[in-house]
Amino acid sequence: MTKLSVNINKLATLRNARGGNVPDLLKAASDIESFGAQGITIHPRPDERHIRYQDARDLKNIVKTEYNIEGNPIKSFMDLVLSIKPTQVTLVPDSFAVLTSNAGWDTIKNRAFLTEIITEFKRNGIRTSIFVDPVISIIEGAAAVGTDRVELYTEDFAVGYAKGDTASIQPYVDCAAKASELGLGVNAGHDLSLDNIAFFKNNVPHLAEVSIGHALISEALYQGLAPVIKQYLQKLQ
């Protein structure tokens, strides 16, 4: 079964909009796990517009499943992750101004940089994943830098699938197969939803984990967190 990791950034955004501690991020993370999710994902950014660095520290004592921290490996992020030692760190090449992740790493151009960063995280016992576009040469570059996994950036698939273009899945099928051939685990995320997750999972081989936040939280506004998480788990079986 493909694991479901729930990204709780949007809950932090809602909390920060009003101040105070409603919704309670730590309780929400614990509840999400109790509803069956196999992981919690956060993506703290330097401006702390949703997840705060202190949230990341506090969640360390709350999350009992897989704890995945995403972000651009600037010094403050690296120091944070190395102090927490989550299950997994996912490296994302976000610029400071970007609203949401919108591109994967060029693993060829950034080979030396990524190799150095990944070596440090793995030396500290943290599983590494890097956010990549579904391009075979980029997957081969990911294997060369020593990462444990890749996270396939799925926006192109989601946009194509919504328009009825089922062929948009093919680059992901090919890249997942190549990643597995090279000994890499395969994760995926971005714009996956209840509408497209079953098709994606049923067609992409070797899919270890999906990270879903915006769509899941939006769907839960109508249906509730527990029912929505249950539906995702059923579709991922």
Query: Where is average pLDDT lowest: 34-38, 93-97, 133-137?
Result: 93-97
- Check whether 183 has a pLDDT greater than 60: yes
Burial class of residue 186 in the structure, from the number of CB atoms within 10 Å of its CB (0-12 exposed, 13-18 middle, 19+ buried): buried
d(CA 10, CA 7): 8
Looking at the structure of the chain, the number of domains it has is: 1
Catalytic residues: 43, 70, 190
pTM: 0.95
DSSP 40: E
Position 94 scores a pLDDT of 77
d(CA 53, CA 81): 10
Specify the CATH number for the domain of residue 158: 3.20.20.70
User: Containing domain of residue 189, as a range?
Assistant: 3-236
**pLDDT (mean) for 95-113:** 78
Task: Give per-residue pLDDT as tens, 11-57.
Answer: 999 999 999 999 999 999 999 999 999 999 999 998 898 999 999 99
d(CA 52, CA 29): 14
Task: Give per-residue pLDDT as tens, 152-166.
Answer: 999 999 999 999 999
